[in-house]
Structure 1
Amino acid sequence: MYEQHFGLREAPFLLTPDTAFFYAARAHQEALNVLLVALAGGEGFIKITGEVGTGKTLLCRKLLASLGPEYVSAWLPNPLLEPDTLLSALAEELGTSAPRALGQHLQLKLLNDRLIALASEGRRVVVCLDEAQAMPDHTLEALRLLSNLESEKRKLMTVVLFGQPELDQRLTAHHLRQLRSRIGFSYRLAPLDTTQLCDYVAHRLAHAGSTRPATLFGRRALRCLHRGSRGVPRLINVLAHKALLAAFGEGAQAVDTRHVLRAVADTEGATMPARFGLLRLSTLIAPSSP
């Protein structure tokens, strides 16, 4: 599409959670550090929350890619699972079998046996659950029961819950108090500030092959991009991609504010910067004067 025009090897702002593009913003690096420390300490439950698009899934993928060979990991991206389905899927991820037909009691026993066997081999088990705010209460309870197994020094399985802020609200419920008490570490992902956004955009452009990652987007364009995206990485990617398309369509060699504004006007959920009112939008269609 526009890659050749801008001297890129690949598209820099795709929405897929590619760990090769992981940018260690302060919040994301702190969250990764918290996760690694908590895993090393053998915590039972860890909770990472953030608004939609703040990079939870990419952080999860980065965590799994950072684990050493002593870890056995399982990633369950679908939260809408009944307890027997989740336990069966988890058993498969851990290299054993616990068919749904056995019933939850026997499934838990088989998984307990597998966790003990892995612990005897010096292995550590980490289970990552995405979109945990949507997981049924009884499924969360099944995980809590499974996490009861422990040695004298640590839990035999660590569960990492990745979810939107609604997860925090759900965990305040009285009937989930036992699970809430098991959460040893929590972290809230924040949006990027303007400086971090500039570094984020340059990082992705450089990884995609740009020889001018710091100047392909003008400084005013980057400020406009921050206002439009509110610092949310997913929105940054959407707007930056559309802005590059707009610049490419005009044959421009760099992205300016007008290209970003066109992207903002075309994107659901983006915020139009206040000083660029609706009257200004009609001017965004025509190319700039040479």
Structure 2
Amino acid sequence: MYETHFGLKESPFSLTPDTDYYFSYADHQEALNVLLVALRMGEGFLKITGEVGTGKTLICRKLLNILSDEGMVTAYIPNPYLTPSALRYSLAEELGVEYPMNIGGHRALQLIYNRLITLKAEGRQVILLLDEAQALPEETLEAIRLLTNLETEKSKLLQVVLVGQPELDEHLERPSVRQLKQRITFSHAIHALNPEGCRGYIQHRTRVAGHQGNTLFNDKALEWLYRGSRGIPRLINILAHKSMLAAYGDGKGRVDKVHVRRAIDDTEGAALRHNSLVRFWQSLFGRQALATMRGRG
């Protein structure tokens, strides 16, 4: 809707995890580097955690692209709320294993093992990447651990990357899955962007979308974007998109703080925090003082 108005070839703030828009923020790049180094070393179990909306799925997509370019075989399961049998069938399908209907779990595992042996003989590593891993049932976590027992005398046949919300760490604290936790050799926690990272993120995405010249968001707009999003990329995308719609509706060529504040008030995750701050300051200073402070902002 507003792309032509702002000189863009496409919308820069889609919620789809498009790797063309991957922003090499220090914390996110460190997570990616940890994964790449550990996988290239042949480590068996890796773990990445981060709050909702911090960019975990985009990192997964970026990782898959890099591994594919390096000739590695990847099996990506984005929704692992599966029974152990369903997980084995999903892995078999990802690896191109054909199996008859109603095959037993033991037979499916044998077919997977045979496929892994074949790929190993071809000199190819196999990586199983499980997104939203905090949703894994306990019995499925145990099935994953058993899958990593598939090995030759010198190396693992299957490497596993668990990517999930912080609840994943809580699940791994249970005594019943302590054997799996002990096998995790490398882990990294992703955090929200800081104010400078938020600014760089906005500028990066608008440039990729085709914008040339000065930033589309002025300094006050960027400041309020950070306040409203708390540095969470998904919220930044939502607020930036709505802010640009507001600026477009006003016929403005740049986004100002007033447009961002409208977006914050229209976005549930951000508006809740914003309104709670309003109530807090009102309780301390009263409505008139708050209005004066807003005018200075």
The amino acid across from 2:274 in the alignment is M
Q: Structure 1 residue 31: deviation in Å?
A: 0.5
My pick for the range that moved more, 135-144 or 162-171, is: 135-144
Partner Cα distance (1:100, 1:164) in 2: 34
Q: Which residue of 1 aligns with 2:41?
A: 41
When residues 38 and 100 of structure 1 are mapped into structure 2, their CA distance, relative to the original with a 3 A threshold, is: farther
Q: Which residue of 1 aligns with 2:140?
A: 139
Q: Which residue of 2 aligns with 1:111?
A: 112
- 1:187 matched to 2:172: no
Partner Cα distance (1:188, 1:100) in 2: 40
My pick for the range that moved more, 247-256 or 100-109, is: 100-109
| Contact 1:3/1:9 (<8 A) preserved | yes
User: What's the CA shift string for 1:192-250, capped at 9, x where partnerless?
Assistant: 001111110000000000013x5210111101111110000000000000000010010
| Contact 1:70/1:122 (<8 A) preserved | no
Question: What secondary structure, in the 3-state scheme, does the structure 1 residue paired with 2:76 have?
Answer: strand
Partner Cα distance (2:228, 2:91) in 1: 40
| Contact 1:70/1:123 (<8 A) preserved | yes
Q: Which residue of 1 aligns with 2:124?
A: 123
The amino acid across from 1:221 in the alignment is A
Partner Cα distance (2:212, 2:70) in 1: 36
Q: Which residue of 1 aligns with 2:274?
A: 272
The amino acid across from 1:218 in the alignment is N
Partner Cα distance (2:108, 2:101) in 1: 7
The amino acid across from 1:272 in the alignment is H
Question: What secondary structure, in the 3-state scheme, does the structure 1 residue paired with 2:274 have?
Answer: coil
Q: Structure 1 residue 257: deviation in Å?
A: 0.6
Partner Cα distance (1:167, 1:100) in 2: 33
Partner Cα distance (2:80, 2:128) in 1: 13
User: What's the CA shift string for 1:46-84, capped at 9, x where partnerless?
Assistant: 110000000000000000011134300111011111111
Identity over aligned pairs, percent: 56
| Contact 1:85/1:100 (<8 A) preserved | no
The amino acid across from 1:133 in the alignment is Q
Structure 1, unpaired ranges of 5+: 284-290
The amino acid across from 1:265 in the alignment is D
| Residue correspondence of structure 1 range 1-290 to structure 2 within 5 A | 1-67=1-67, 68-99=69-100, 101-212=102-213, 214-270=214-270, 271-272=273-274, 274=277
- Tell me the number of residue pairs that the alignment of Structure 1 and Structure 2 aligns: 281
More helix by share: 2
Partner Cα distance (1:80, 1:31) in 2: 24
| Contact 1:243/1:263 (<8 A) preserved | yes
Question: What secondary structure, in the 3-state scheme, does the structure 2 residue paired with 1:49 have?
Answer: strand
Q: Structure 1 residue 100: deviation in Å?
A: 6.3
User: What's the CA shift string for 1:87-129, capped at 9, x where partnerless?
Assistant: 1111111111245622222211211111111101101001111
| Contact 1:41/1:154 (<8 A) preserved | no
Q: Which residue of 1 aligns with 2:294?
A: none
- Considering only aligned residues, what root-mean-square deviation do their CA atoms show, in Å? 1.9
Question: What secondary structure, in the 3-state scheme, does the structure 1 residue paired with 2:6 have?
Answer: coil
Partner Cα distance (2:261, 2:6) in 1: 20
When residues 100 and 143 of structure 1 are mapped into structure 2, their CA distance, relative to the original with a 3 A threshold, is: farther
| Contact 1:198/1:222 (<8 A) preserved | yes
Question: What secondary structure, in the 3-state scheme, does the structure 1 residue paired with 2:114 have?
Answer: helix
Structure 2, unpaired ranges of 5+: 292-297
The amino acid across from 2:164 in the alignment is G
When residues 231 and 83 of structure 1 are mapped into structure 2, their CA distance, relative to the original with a 3 A threshold, is: same
When residues 122 and 82 of structure 1 are mapped into structure 2, their CA distance, relative to the original with a 3 A threshold, is: same
User: What's the CA shift string for 1:10-64, capped at 9, x where partnerless?
Assistant: 0000000000000010111000000000101111111100000000000000000
Question: What secondary structure, in the 3-state scheme, does the structure 2 residue paired with 1:217 have?
Answer: coil
User: What's the CA shift string for 1:142-166, capped at 9, x where partnerless?
Assistant: 1111111223443111111110000
